Structure 1
Amino acid sequence: MTARTVLGGADLAAVDELLSAADAHLAGAYPGDDGSRQPVHTVYVPADRYRAGLAQDWGREALEAVDAAGGPAALVEAVGVADPLREEVARRVGEKLGREPVEDLRIDLEDGYGDHGDAEDDVAVAAARHLRAELDAGTATPFVGIRFKSLERPTRARGLRTLDLFLSGLAGSGDLPGGLVVTLPKVTSVDQVRAMVLVCAAIERAHGLAPGRLRFEVQVETPQAILGADGTAPVAAMVHAGAGRVSGLHYGTYDYSAALGIAAAHQSMEHPAADHAKAVMQLAAAGTGVRLSDGSTNVLPVGGPGRVREAWSLHGRLVRRSLERGYYQGWDLHPAQLPSRFAATYAFYREGLAAATDRLRAYLDGAAGGVLDEPATARALAWFLRRGLDCGAVDGEELRSAGLDPAEVGRLATGRG
């Protein structure tokens, strides 16, 4: 029997015409991840405490905290690293704290700084000056920026003035850093995102910056961002209202919890209300290229060795929980949280290293294995390995030893391989 088709060129042309607008929307609104590095954390520092060299100081303080609480062995035990991985994870964490203890630094002029009136002008200018010194010396963190006060009416003028002073100070003394990040807090409406787009465009024009150079994170810390009065999820519209400028959605643990009336003792990254909000954020960001970040824990590793190890155990568990749920970034608020951040993160990637390399190698070779992976899962495997490479949990030689080319892994992760 001879196979034949009944759809002709005119039929296909009609389908293409019908779907052309949907095709254009999908390509423009859901471009996928661009493959660039995402930091594993954001460290918040009050602006009046920020100075050149602060990240290196945090690294030294983190190493001192490890020594005071029982050493690297006590750290990996507290975080719950599996026995076979403890020595390697401890070694890599020590190297990380000495080499690059902070991946993303946020100079905080919002809640972490407070309301100091006009004195904020001098602090914003000084922050730009200190950052320029670090950039010129080559000691700045890979990602850095500020969080300014929200666009709600009471703080709007103050926040925008601070943003202007900081960015003008940076732009007036040299190129803006490639890893520059601006954080817009307490967003309650899509219009605030649209307003931020206008502000970014105005600052770009004033300083001769390329259109679209300035991007910003949206902090999701109000119920109004998750559920609007019309029953929709405004956070999804916020992503697209940013016109390509929204780089991330960051969950704000304590503001969001407090706004729902959750008692202070039960405000946590793992509260069911937090999980609901983050699930909505995850859906809103899917396919858009916008990155996600979990929030923080305010239980700090301070005090005697026992209390420090207890805090490490909690922090490590929360970091691991976020990673398992697809949140590859979180907030850190104290130098002693860095060891547990990296220990939990490195353990996550090293535990999955062998299985991920084996499955991806089998997929690329077209070999039959114990798991039949789809192309989408192969991309997820590649992303897992790529993220491990970026943060230092694994290295390129380990991938090459497993028969994988790190560059090929990077291309596959973004669907460009």
Structure 2
Amino acid sequence: MGHQQTVSTTFTSAVGERIGASLALVDAELARRYPGDPGTRQPVHTVYVPADAFDAATVRSWGEGALAALDRHAPDAASFAAVLGIPDRLAGPVYDRVRAKLRREPVEDLRIDFEDGYGLRPDAEEDAAAARAAQLVARACAEGTAPPWTGIRMKCMEAAVRDRGVRTLDVFLTGLLEAGGLPEGLVLTLPKVSYPEQVAAMVHLAEEFEKARGLDGGRIRFEVQIETTQSILGADGRATVARLIEAGQGRVTSLHYGTFDYSAACGVSAAHQSADHPAADHAKAVMQVAAAGTGVRLCDGSTNVLPVGPRERVHAAWRLHHGLVRRALARAYYQGWDMHPGQLPTRYAAVYAFYREGLEEAAGRLAAYAGGGGGAVLDEPATARALSGYLLRGLDCGALDAEEVAALTGLDRAALDRLAGRTAPQD
């Protein structure tokens, strides 16, 4: 006791120094390409609204429409839980949180759509719509009524619509800047990307706008939509997604899967185009591996089966949507598209039940890991990151409360951030 044992070694310090020098470029490359989780809140969904349908009341009307659907087709916790198969012990807490969310913040991420949801219009009409969108977004941000994230989906970089897409982007960004500046939650979506050069072109546009308007370099970032087969596998047989991320030069924030364009490109018949089709699973698995560790996040697609019509049809659409959201969450797709106000109740129900049903187990395992006392499961640092990330996502979306998580884990938010490898300030 108290004596250090002397051990023999063979390598000299010079050997270690040479190894370090030989791997210096690799160390730098790993740090650049794989910075890890950005440490900020991720929205649980993106709502798409055609540009001509968007107005100052859009977010409020979506919340009101969602609540009206609940009142009409599932007016209490028991009936809602019965439709979706939510366990009795979760029925009340989930239902109450869903209703509160729909009143407080029905839409987390809003995309004003100038692409497929808007179509081809005369230039003067699209110019006016883009300018109007900028004014409405700027006003909502100033009044504090905007969702946490808001932006546009422009037309893609393909030759037929490229000029129109670039002009709409210009009109929208210029309008925002002249109305008071680019909002913190600005999100831009570049659709139908097939080649890295199209992402590089978007980077060039961002750079030119920043220079012309005296903005900080890197201020404008964007999402890439994966909707073409070429975005998964290039003509040369090489995987493409990682090359798209690299072409973004740090500006790509997320990858959004486009259910119907991608399915159609694969030849999937309309009746079988769904987010759980094997072709979709393959594409999203490739996206997931390419994005892992880069800080680029993933977003699942949508279902076009809307909860409208008689109660039986609404309930069937709710079950389908709820099941797809649950499936995506289990596969680490924590965000997805919603296309109709009636999908908001099942989006939040699936998300809240997902985090609440696993709260006690995740908290218990994390508490045992942090305390070093062991438990029924022997978790490693990587699993501790996943456990804390799970709890943090539940906190961010409103499924969990900070007090109950702290009581179960003995850890505050800062400690959870450290265990999850999050270093950036939280939204």
CA distance in 1, matches of 2:216, 2:76: 46
Contact 2:264 2:273 in 1 (8 A): yes
1:35 aligns with 2:39: yes
**8 Å contact kept, 1:302–1:336:** yes
* 8 Å contact kept, 1:253–1:274: yes
Which residue of structure 2 lines up, in the alignment, with residue 104 of structure 1?
109
Q: CA deviation at 1:413?
A: 1.5
Shift of 1:400: 1.9
Aligned pair partner of 1:4 in 3, 8, 17: 8
What residue number does 1:170 align with?
176
Structure 1 position 213 matched with structure 2 position 219: yes
Which of 106, 128, 133 matches 1:127? 133
The percent of aligned pairs where both chains have the same amino acid is: 58
Q: Given residue 220 of structure 1, which amino acid in structure 2 is its aligned partner? A: I
Give the structure 1 partner of residue 392 of structure 2.
386
d(CA) in 2 for partners of 1:254 and 1:193?
21
1:173 positional shift: 1.1
| 1:99 alignment partner AA | R
Q: Determine the C-alpha separation between the residues in 2 that align with 1:81 and 1:240.
A: 42
- Which amino acid is the alignment partner of residue 68 of structure 2? E
Matched position secondary structure for 1:276: helix
47-56 or 157-166: bigger deviation: 47-56
Aligned residue among 139, 146, 151 for 1:145: 151
Q: Is the 8 A contact 2:39 2:422 kept in 1?
A: no
Aligned residues: 417
Aligned match of 1:24: 28
Q: 1:56 aligns with which of 40, 55, 60?
A: 60
4+ residue stretches of structure 1 with deviation over 6 A?
none
Question: What is the alpha-carbon distance in structure 2 between the residues aligned to residue 366 and residue 259 of structure 1?
Answer: 51
Q: Is the 8 A contact 2:43 2:108 kept in 1?
A: yes
Offset at residue 2 of structure 1 (A): 5.2
CA distance in 2 between counterparts of 1:148 and 1:16 reads 46
Hey, what does 1:75 align to over in structure 2? 80
Mark the CA change 1:6 to 1:265 in structure 2 (over 3 Å): closer, same or farther: same
Q: Deviations over 1:151-206 (max 9, x none)?
A: 00001000000000000000111121111110000001010011111000111112
CA shift, 1:416, in A, is 4.8
Structure 2 residue aligned with 1:85, among 68, 85, 90? 90
Query: What corresponds to 1:356 in structure 2?
Result: 362
1:79 positional shift: 2.2
Tell me, yes or no, if the aligned pair for 2:38 and 2:422 is still in contact at 8 Å.
no
1:180 to 181, 186, 190: 186
Q: Cα deviations across residues 284-328 of structure 1 (Å, max 9, x unaligned)?
A: 100000000000000000001111111110000000000000000
- Equivalent residue, structure 1, for 2:259: 253
Q: CA RMSD in A?
A: 1.2
Q: Distance in 1 between matches of 2:412 and 2:57?
A: 36
Question: SS where residue 23 of structure 2 aligns?
Answer: helix
Mean Cα deviation higher: 150-159 or 74-83? 74-83
Q: Does the 8 Å CA contact 2:196/2:244 hold for their aligned counterparts?
A: yes
Q: How far apart are residue 257 of structure 1 and its match?
A: 0.3
Contact persistence 1:53–1:139 (CA under 8 A): no
* Pair 1:277 & 2:283 matched: yes
Aligned mates of 1:25, 1:301 — CA distance in 2: 47
The code of the aligned residue for 1:109 comes to F
Aligned positions of 1:236-251 closer than 5 A: 236-251=242-257
* Offset of residue 414 of structure 1: 2.2
Deviations 1:244-270 (A, max 9, x none): 000000000000000111100000000
Write the deviation string for residues 334-373 of structure 1: whole angstroms up to 9, x where unpaired. Answer: 0000000000110000011001111111111001100111
CA distance in 1, matches of 2:418, 2:40: 11
Following superposition, the deviation at residue 53 of structure 1 comes to 2.8
Instruction: Supply the distance in 2 between the matched residues of 1:415 and 1:251 (Cα, whole angstroms).
Output: 25
TM-score, structure 2 normalization: 0.96
Aligned match of 1:157 in 156, 160, 163? 163
Report the counterpart of residue 208 of structure 2 in structure 1: 202
> Could you tell me which residue of structure 2 aligns to residue 409 of structure 1?
416
Check whether the contact 1:75–1:340 (CA below 8 A) recurs between aligned residues: no
Distance (whole Å) between structure 2 residues aligned to residue 241 and residue 413 of structure 1: 28
Residue 77 of structure 1 deviates from its aligned partner by: 2.3
Work out the CA distance in 2 between the residues paired with 1:77 and 1:390. Answer: 27
Counterparts of 2:65 and 2:113, CA distance in 1 = 20
Q: Partner amino acid for 2:406?
A: R
Q: 2: distance between equivalents of 1:344 and 1:77? A: 13
* Residue matched to 1:227: 233
Report the alpha carbon displacement of residue 16 of structure 1 after superposing the two structures with TM.
Answer: 0.8
Q: Which runs of 5+ in 1 are unaligned?
A: none
Aligned to 1:336, the other structure's residue is in SS state: helix
Distance 1:21-1:397 versus aligned 2 partners, 3 A rule: same
Is the Cα–Cα contact under 8 Å of residues 312 and 340 in structure 1 kept in the other structure? yes
8 A contact 2:241–2:287 mirrored in 1: yes
Query: 2:317 aligned to 311, 315, 329, which one?
Result: 311
How do 1:291-310 and structure 2 match up within 5 A? 291-310=297-316
**SS of residue paired to 1:170:** helix
Task: Give the equivalent residue in structure 2 for 1:376.
Answer: 382
